[in-house]
Every structure is written in C-alpha cells, then in structure tokens.
C-alpha cells in the first residue's frame, strides 16, 4: 500500500514558503488590471419579460454579432453632372401648292432659308410669321402643283444641302393629311456640320428618273438597276438639267408600268431593291423618301419633246446622299 506523504507545513513552524518563479508582470499590476476590468463590467442582473412575468436573465454574451464601431466606408462624392439637354427637333413643311413653313429652328435660320429660296427658286412672293418661332414663305409659280417638278425636286435637294451644311441633319419625312392643306413634312435634328450633297431618284408611272447624279458611277449603277426590270428597260433619255430617265416597259395589265396584281406584283419592289443595292455599291444611301405633287396633276416624260410634261396619278421621290 502506497502512502502519500503529507506535504503540509507543520503548524507552529516559521519556515518561509518555498521559492516561486517570478512572472513577467508583478502581482500588484495584475491585481490592479483585474480590478479595473471588473469595475467596468456591469454585473447587475437584467430582466426579460416573458408572459408578463419578470425573470432574471444571466448576463450571457449574445449570439448576435456585436455592433461595429468602425467608421463607415468612405464613398467618393459624385460630381454634379449637368442634365443632358433634350435633342431639339425642327421641321420644314410643304403647304398647299406654293408655301414653305419652318418651325423649331433658331432665328438664324430665317436668313438661311431666305437665301436658299432666293437662289433655289424663281422668286418669293411674301413672308409671314403665323406663330412664335414659325415662319412661312409663299413662292411663285406653285412648286408643289406639278407644273415644274424637276425644279421643285432640286429645290428640296438644295434645302437639304444647305441645312446639313449649317448642322441640321435630316431625320425623316412624313406625310400629313391632305385635308389640312399640307403635304410631306421634313424633320431635322442638330448634328455636326457637313457639306453633304444630295440627288434624287423619282419613280413615275412609266419611268424612273435620276436627278442630279453626283458622279458618273451613279449613272452606271442606275442603268444596271433598271435593266433588272422583267419587262425590260427602254431607252435612256439624255439629261435635261441633269435628269436621266428610263422608260419601263409594262408587265401585266394596267395603265402603268407597275403591276398591282398577278404574278408580277412583286416586280416593282424588286426593282427598288436593285436600286438600293446599286446605289450602296456606289457609296450612297437613301436618306428619305417624300411625295409632294398632286396625285391628279403630276408628270411624265414626253418622248417626242424630250421633256417632262403631262399628268401622272402617282409619284414617289427617293433622296440619296453619301454614306
């Protein structure tokens, strides 16, 4: 049987306690540190309400994450940005048989339009200001009546060129109900100033006309497009002030070269596709189409006289420019 020696010091002896190893800090400092920590700790019991009965709750640390006392992340302040101004559109209206009206353009465009009309047309009868920011000019010889269609088309080209040069780009052209005395309206938006030249291709009832071709390649591509017509293309008429016309031989029944039914109903659309393709190969695109002439008083190409004359029930004008 093993006995354990009693290591207790006999009472009545004055022997000092055995030597203990020194620690890294003194006992007094530890005592003071513990005292400060305990004094800062709130040991008072807390209570919680459960079914109306106050019950003591032990100060057990919460399982929820402690609140953060760090400063919030510094988010760089966003610089104040001035709102982008809305794009201002303006319009040019062809009214009745002899009027041009503009709205939404700056006042400086009054002088521009006056110069354009004086150079691009035979004369201006009057000018008026029907509303704030709206200006109207009455032209001589009724350009939208069909009496001088080629000159009217050239006037439109010159207007588009002049406005593009001043920083107004053509957005689209839209038809306005005829009962209001208006024809097509052209809409413009501010853009970079550009000296952009325009030319026209006019689809008549019996022919297609190229007006003011910019370079010889345009003429070549135009003729090749017309030759795709299933009925065959007629002779190419020489220019009259830069106009070339190709007679289109009728296919199917009807008073025009363009069939409205039957197996060739798609032929005119295919011809238009060929025109667009050929102009694209030459580096040009169609920027808009419009229709300004009366349906009952339009024009056709007179073979004997070599001029535009007569009446034609329908017409459409396509405007092209450099891409």
**69 in any annotated domain:** no
Q: Which pLDDT score is estimated for 244?
A: 92
Question: Do 181 and 207 sit in the same domain of this protein?
Answer: no
Question: Which pairs from 310-315 meet CB under 8 Å and 24+ separation?
Answer: 311/146, 312/204, 312/205, 312/206, 313/205, 313/256, 314/205, 314/256, 315/149, 315/202, 315/203, 315/204, 315/205, 315/291
CA distance 108 to 135: 12
Domain boundary at 130, 165, 190, which?
Answer: 190
Question: Do 241 and 158 sit in the same domain of this protein?
Answer: no
CA distance 156 to 92: 10
pLDDT, mean over the chain? 77
Cβ atoms 137, 126 nearer than 8 A: yes
Can you tell me which residue has the tokens 């190893």?
21
Cβ atoms 198, 160 nearer than 8 A: yes
Question: Do 219 and 133 sit in the same domain of this protein?
Answer: no
Question: Do 168 and 223 sit in the same domain of this protein?
Answer: no
**175 in any annotated domain:** yes
Q: How many domains, in total, are found in the chain?
A: 2
Domain boundary at 171, 190, 209, which?
Answer: 190
pLDDT tens-digit series, residues 84-121: 666 689 999 998 889 999 999 998 899 999 999 999 99
pLDDT-based confidence at residue 263 (cuts at 50, 70, 90): confident
Question: Do 168 and 216 sit in the same domain of this protein?
Answer: no
pLDDT tens-digit series, residues 16-43: 555 544 444 444 454 454 455 445 545 4
Of 238, 259, 251, 253, residue with least CA distance to 303 = 238
**31 in any annotated domain:** no
Q: What are phi and psi of 315, to 5 degrees?
A: -160, 150
Question: Do 212 and 308 sit in the same domain of this protein?
Answer: yes
CA distance 236 to 232: 12
**26 in any annotated domain:** no
Expressed in angstroms, the distance from the first to the final Cα of the chain is: 115
Out of 74-78, 172-176, 309-313, the most confident range is 172-176
pTM of the model: 0.68
Question: Do 248 and 167 sit in the same domain of this protein?
Answer: no
Please count the helices (runs of H) and the strands (runs of E) in the chain. Answer: 5, 16
pLDDT tens-digit series, residues 187-230: 999 999 999 999 999 998 888 999 999 899 999 999 999 999 99
Question: Once rounded to an integer, what is the mean pLDDT over residues 64-78?
Answer: 60
CA distance 301 to 307: 6
**40 in any annotated domain:** no
CA distance 288 to 90: 16
Of 245, 210, 254, 247, residue with least CA distance to 232 = 247
CA distance 110 to 77: 46
Q: Which pLDDT score is estimated for 240?
A: 80
**3 in any annotated domain:** no
Question: Do 228 and 246 sit in the same domain of this protein?
Answer: yes
Domain boundary at 161, 190, 219, which?
Answer: 190
DSSP code, position 245: E
Question: Do 215 and 231 sit in the same domain of this protein?
Answer: yes
Cβ atoms 170, 212 nearer than 8 A: no
Domain of 250? 198-322
**115 in any annotated domain:** yes
**143 in any annotated domain:** yes
Question: Do 151 and 95 sit in the same domain of this protein?
Answer: yes
Q: Which pLDDT score is estimated for 265?
A: 84
pLDDT tens-digit series, residues 146-196: 777 889 999 999 999 999 999 999 999 988 765 455 578 999 999 999 999
Of 182, 179, 223, residue with least CA distance to 201 = 223
Question: Do 166 and 116 sit in the same domain of this protein?
Answer: yes
pLDDT tens-digit series, residues 125-134: 889 999 999 9
Give the residue, 317 or 252, on which the prediction is more confident.
317
CA distance 190 to 108: 14
CA distance 9 to 17: 9
Tokens of 189: 């938006």
CA distance 280 to 26: 96
CA distance 266 to 230: 11
Question: Do 269 and 168 sit in the same domain of this protein?
Answer: no
CA distance 29 to 31: 5
Q: Which pLDDT score is estimated for 261?
A: 75
């Amino acid at each position: 049987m093993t006995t354990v020696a009693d290591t207790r010091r006999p009472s009545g002896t004055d022997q000092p306690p055995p030597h203990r190893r020194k620690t890294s800090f003194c006992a007094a400092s530890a005592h003071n540190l513990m005292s400060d920590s305990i004094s800062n700790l709130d040991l008072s019991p807390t209570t919680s309400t459960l079914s109306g009965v106050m019950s003591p709750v032990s100060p057990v640390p919460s399982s929820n994450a402690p609140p953060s006392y760090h400063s919030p992340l510094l988010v760089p302040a966003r610089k104040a940005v001035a709102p982008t101004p809305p794009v201002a559109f303006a319009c040019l209206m062809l009214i009745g048989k002899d009027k041009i009206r503009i709205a939404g353009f700056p006042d400086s465009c009054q002088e521009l339009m006056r110069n354009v009309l004086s150079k691009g047309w035979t004369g201006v009868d009057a000018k008026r200001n029907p509303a704030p920011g709206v200006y109207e000019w009455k032209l001589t010889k009724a350009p939208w009546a069909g009496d001088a269609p080629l000159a009217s088309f050239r006037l439109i080209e010159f207007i588009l060129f002049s406005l593009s040069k001043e920083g107004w780009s053509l957005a689209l052209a839209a038809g306005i109900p005829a009962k209001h005395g208006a024809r097509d309206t052209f809409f413009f938006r501010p853009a970079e100033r550009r000296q952009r030249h325009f030319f026209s291709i006019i689809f008549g009832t019996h022919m297609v006309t190229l007006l003011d071709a910019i370079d010889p390649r345009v003429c070549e591509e135009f003729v090749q497009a017309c030759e795709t017509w299933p009925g065959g293309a007629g002779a190419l008429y020489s220019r009259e002030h830069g106009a070339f016309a190709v007679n289109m031989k009728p296919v199917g029944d009807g008073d025009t070269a363009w069939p409205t039914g039957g197996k060739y109903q798609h032929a005119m659309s295919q011809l238009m596709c060929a025109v667009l393709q050929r102009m694209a190969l030459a580096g040009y695109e169609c920027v808009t189409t419009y229709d300004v002439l009366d349906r009952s008083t339009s024009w056709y190409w007179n073979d004997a006289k070599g001029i535009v004359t007569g009446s034609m029930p329908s017409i459409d004008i396509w405007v092209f420019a450099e891409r």
